[in-house]
Chains A and B, each alone.
Chain A
Amino acid sequence: MSRGRAIDEVLADVMAFFSFRSFRTRLLVFLLALLLPVLLGIYIFVNQENNQYTTDTIDSYLDLGADVFDFTREEHKNTLLTITSTMTRDWGFRNAFGTGDPYTIIDAADNILLRSLGAADMMLISSMEGKVIIDTKTQGFDNLEGEWLALMEEAAKSDDGIGDAIINVLGVPYQITVIPLFLPTPVAWIFGGFPLDNTFTDTVKQSIVSDVSIVEYRNTLSSQADMSFNGSAVEVIASTLKPADQARLTEQLQRTGMTYTDTQRIVLEDGEYGTLMRPLYGEPGAPLQIVAVIQKSYNENIENLEAFQRVLLQFYLAVLGLSLIAVILLARSVTRPILNLAARVRRIEEGDYGQSTYVSGKDEIAQLAGSVNNMALGLVEKEKVRDLLGKVVSHEIAEELLSKKIELGGEEKVVTVLFADIKGFTTMCETTAPEAVLTVLNRYLSGITKVIEDNHGVVDKYTGDSVMALFGAPLTRPNDAENAVRAALAIQECMVELNSVNRAEGVALMEAGIGVHTGLVVAGNLGSQNRLNYTVIGDSVNLSARLEGLTRIYGTPNIVSEVSLQHAPGFVYQELDLVRVAGKSEPVRIYQVIGAQEDVTPEQYEKIRVFADALADYRAQKWEQATAKFENLQLSLPVAQRAESLYSVYLERMTYLYKRKLPADWDAVFTFDRK
């Protein structure tokens, strides 16, 4: 369980590591992940091959060098033979030998050595039986012995009387050859030799371009099979190596022993050397063996290898650089259109549909760009429709229409309907040009509309200079009636502001008449299949319109029905009357909303109280008392407003009632029988 989670965490880490911020980074990492192992693999492979190749090359150089060494030694030997052979047929030498005088013969021998220009270094002459006649090295034996005797016997057995061997002369290994001296039959053995010393190794080095050492092994072990040597057994006799390297060689050879077949690697001062041995003297396992050690440094090839590695690395850097540039360009070719598209989509999100994105090509991104452009065009169309709809109908209705499937029919709901009419507009039409009328009308309607919408009302329709507004349709809010009453008060304030503009322009001042009623209506789409109208219908709508009309009669800016008052109790109302409107049998108690409770002044409260007393007197048919109170109220108004005021309505009505004989069940309901 915990292990599974650990794996999950690791996986999450890995995924987090690979979730890059940009497409370019991802592409780069991908490229590197792909390219680097390949390059690395190639590098390792090539390096390995190269190493193998250089090793093989050095080894083959060594083999060649060893062969050339053998050849060179053979040539040296032949040169020695040629010299001894030719010199001993020299008449002077023959004469000298003919004398039989050792001193003369030794001088003649020295003379030959001198004339050999260093190719021969020593000469020994013995009788055919092996008696030493002269020895330029004065080794001190009278008869041939040991290796000398063995060489003589070997030469005698051979068909051509010639033999060669490496013989230790006073501690130095000599390459020795032997031929007979003919006078004219063979009368003596002529031994000639040159030392395998530094001069020799230097000479050989010139022809094989490898270091050459002459190494002596003294096998102190009894077992012939044991090829290893102890410390004192290996000795470098001659070498082209520096003394320090000779010591290293000695030390190494003591450890590894002797082999003629394998190439050894021996580390000298300036690096590793391929090392090959060639036998000069002694069978393997013999007590004394002398070998030639041929060595070639790997350095030269390692330098070549390093040069190659440098070139390879430079090539890799170029490849990587070019690949990176290519990837960046590729990423840019992908990401730039995508970023452009993203910006475009963001702009569309913000509502800016213009400036279509141009993407060249036919790839997926181009297709996407085309789709985005098409989408933007579609959105523009839709937005245009929405915009237009919002202008023709109210914003909420437009939303309702756009969000729901449009169908005929409706639903019953309680809605507060507000009618607002601009009084005095008709009069203005008679005296003002139509364009100016429209301008002013639009200004008023715009102002009223804004107030309505600010109070969450929905303008249902404009009918000439009047506005019908709904509170509670299409969306029902808990305080629709309250919103409607507040809207009515706000419209009145708005009229004051608009009138100040009118006053400045010299246009006639306007007043609003507002009716508010709350009741059950049917809300929905009305009309035909092809042309619909979202609206509400019902008695409540009619009543609301009637109440608006009554404002002209009562001289009040607004009339609110009792139902609306009950739905919006938080305001100060003044009861106006109890009326029966045309087409309705039920009486309706009507009120004027004075304002929000905190806005109403004590004077206004006093007036409301007095009016309520007066109204009570009126309903109690106490005409004199009522008249007195109404008249008092009327006197509080400016003279210009007295004739059109609410109080004058009652004063006039009472003069009429005064003369009438009222029935016993007079309900004080005033009936309006015309619309």
Chain B
Amino acid sequence: MTLTFLNSKTVQQARAVACCTVLAASFALPSQAAELRIALQDAETGQPLENAVVEVLLPVGLQAEYSAGADYSVDQVEKEFVANVTVITVGSRVNFPNSDDILHHVYSFSPAKVFELPLYGNGQSVNFSEVFAQAGVVEIGCNIHDWMLGYIFVAQTRLAVKTDANGQALITDVPAGDYRVRIWHARASADSTELEQQISFDDAQASNLRMALTLDRDNRLRRAPNVSRTRYR
């Protein structure tokens, strides 16, 4: 099986030109937590951007109140990780069931969490006992199927969501105040400063985050059903 690699982010250091519009309403609703309404799109195509993660970075003092671990599950269906991007909170436990007929070997060499789950099959209860204790993006792969690539976004608090198919997401229960908001996408350059914004949150009115993200080429191995390498050229 041949895997296709599309682009390398190290070379294509295209800066993400963020065109962001931050509308912060100034009227507040008492005793109600603030909201952040997010709408992201691909700057190049204008299409809604799915699977981007937006996280509100709370000061350390506020973090404890909003960080509660939970149990998650990242399934493997037809040799793909489902969901492709999973947002969890620090201290969460993630289970990696296998819905396929064949075995998978899940691993990660990401600094946030290095682990491996040696070959296991369908029905085998794999409860990943260790929790994801460190915030960061964990790239998970399968040692058998090189194209299988999934992301576990380990957020510091639960104020992190990923955009849906419409490129939209909603973060609720944000305490009022000015916070930094970070946007992550697998194909967006990590170095880009535009991906971090200062946003004022007010109980009275929801904040909006609308951005068009310039993305790198998809740089992962692509699943190739046939052997010919030149087929995709």
A-B interaction:
yes
| Chain A residues proximal to chain B, CB less than 8 Å | 89, 91, 94, 97-98, 127-129, 153, 156-157, 159-161, 180, 182-187
Q: Hey, which chain A residues are within 8 Å of B9, CB to CB?
A: 128
The answer to whether A157 and B141 touch across the interface, beta carbons within 8 angstroms, is: no
Q: Contact: B5 with A160, CB < 8 Å? A: yes
Whether the Cβ atoms of B149 and A185 lie closer than 8 Å is yes
Alpha-carbon distance A128/B148, docked complex (angstroms): 20
Partner of B8, one of A91, A128, A183, A184: A128
Query: Closest residue to B4 on the A side, CB-wise?
Result: A160
What is the distance, in angstroms, from A181's C-beta to the closest C-beta of chain B? 10
Select A156's contact among B4, B8, B105, B141, beta carbons within 8 Å: B8
Q: Other than the known A91-B143, A183-B109, A184-B221, what 10 A-B pairs have Cβ atoms closer than 8 Å?
A: A91-B105, A128-B8, A128-B11, A129-B10, A153-B11, A156-B12, A159-B232, A160-B5, A185-B139, A187-B109
Known A-B contacts A153-B11, A156-B11, A184-B221; the reply to A94 vs B109 at CB < 8 A is yes
Considering only CB atoms, which chain B residue lies closest to A129 in the complex? B10
Q: How many Å lie between the Cα of A187 and that of B219 in the bound state? A: 11
By beta carbon, the residue of chain B nearest A156 is B11
- Chain A hits for B171, CB < 8 A: none
Cβ contact of A182, chosen from B10, B105, B141, B229, cutoff 8 A? B141
Q: Tell me whether B6 is interfacial, beta carbon within 8 Å.
A: yes
A183→B5 contact, CB < 8 A: no
B142 contacts partner chain A, Cβ-Cβ < 8 Å: yes
**B window 127-156: CB within 8 A of A:** 139-143, 146, 148-149
Question: B6 to chain A: which residues have CB within 8 Å?
Answer: 159
A161 touches B220 (CB 8 A): no
Please name the 5 residue pairs, one residue from A and one from B, whose CB atoms are nearest each other, closest first: A184-B141, A128-B10, A156-B11, A161-B5, A98-B109
CB distance from A473 to the nearest CB of B (A): 132
Enumerate chain B residues within 8 angstroms of A153, measured Cβ to Cβ.
11
Q: How far is the CB of B21 from chain A (nearest CB, A)?
A: 31
Given A180-B5, A182-B5, are A160 and B146 also a contact pair (CB < 8 Å)?
no
B187 to A: closest C-beta gap in Å:
11
Count of A-B contacts with CB under 8 A?
62
Q: Does B107 contact A (CB under 8 A)?
A: yes
Chain B residues within an 8 Å CB radius of A127: 10
How far does the Cβ of B115 sit from chain A's closest Cβ, in whole Å? 11
A186 to B6, CA, bound (A): 10
A183 x B10 contact (CB < 8 A): no
> Taking CB as reference atom, which chain B residue is nearest A186?
B8
Residues of A within 8 A of B103 (CB): none
Give the chain B neighbours of A156 by CB distance below 8 A.
8, 10-12
Q: Are B11 and A157 in contact (CB under 8 A)?
A: yes
**B-side contacts of A98, CB under 8 Å:** 109, 114
Beta-carbon contact of A161 and B8 below 8 Å: yes
A186 to B107, CA, bound (A): 15
User: What are 10 A-B residue pairs whose CB atoms fall within 8 Å in the complex?
Assistant: A91-B105, A91-B143, A94-B107, A153-B11, A156-B10, A182-B146, A184-B148, A185-B149, A185-B219, A186-B5
- Which residue from chain A places its CB closest to the CB of B11 in the assembled complex? A156
B3 within 8 A of A: yes
Query: Which residue on chain B has the smallest CB distance to residue A97?
Result: B109
The reply to whether A160 and B229 form a contact with Cβ atoms under 8 Å apart is yes
For B143, the chain A residues whose CB sits under 8 A away are: 89, 91, 94
Report the separation of the CA atoms of residues A295 and B229 in the bound assembly, to the nearest whole angstrom. Answer: 33
CA distance A180 to B4 in the complex (A): 11
* Residues in A neighbouring B5, C-beta threshold 8 A: 160-161, 180, 182, 186
Q: Is the CB of A184 within 8 A of B142?
A: yes
Give A558 Cβ to nearest chain B Cβ, in Å.
147
Q: Chain A residues near B229 (CB, 8 Å)? A: 160
Neighbouring A residues of B232 by C-beta, 8 Å: 159-160
Please, how many angstroms separate the alpha-carbon atoms of A89 and B1 in the complex?
Answer: 12
Distance of A324 Cα from B146 Cα, bound (Å)? 85
What residues of B have a CB within 8 angstroms of the CB of A185 in the complex?
A: 139, 149, 219-220
Interface positions, chain B 93-138, Cβ under 8 Å from A, are 105, 107, 109, 114
- Closest partner residue, chain B, to A155 (CB atom): B8
Q: Please give, as numbers and ranges, the residues of chain B lying within 8 Å of A187 by CB-CB distance.
A: 109
Tell me which of A97, A184, A186 has the highest count of chain B C-beta atoms within 10 A of its own C-beta: A184
Whole-angstrom CA separation of A453 from B8 in the bound complex: 146
In the bound complex, CA of A156 to CA of B216 (Å): 13
Min CB distance A581 to B, Å, is 154
Q: Which residue of B lies closest to A100 (CB)?
A: B109
Chain A residues closer than 8 Å to B148, beta-carbon distance: 184
Determine whether the beta carbon of B8 is less than 8 Å from that of A180. Answer: yes
Contacts of B146 in A (CB 8 A): 89, 182, 184
- Enumerate chain B residues within 8 angstroms of A89, measured Cβ to Cβ: 143, 146
By the criterion CB–CB under 8 Å, are B220 and A184 in contact?
A: yes
Residues of B contacting A129 in the complex (Cβ-Cβ under 8 angstroms) = 10
Distance, CA A182 to CA B12, complexed state (A): 17
Write the B199-224 contact mask toward A (1 if CB under 8 angstroms, else 0): 00000000000000000000111000
The residue on B at minimum CB distance from A157 is B11
- Which chain B residue lies CB-closest to A184? B141
Give complex CA distance A160, B231 in Å: 11
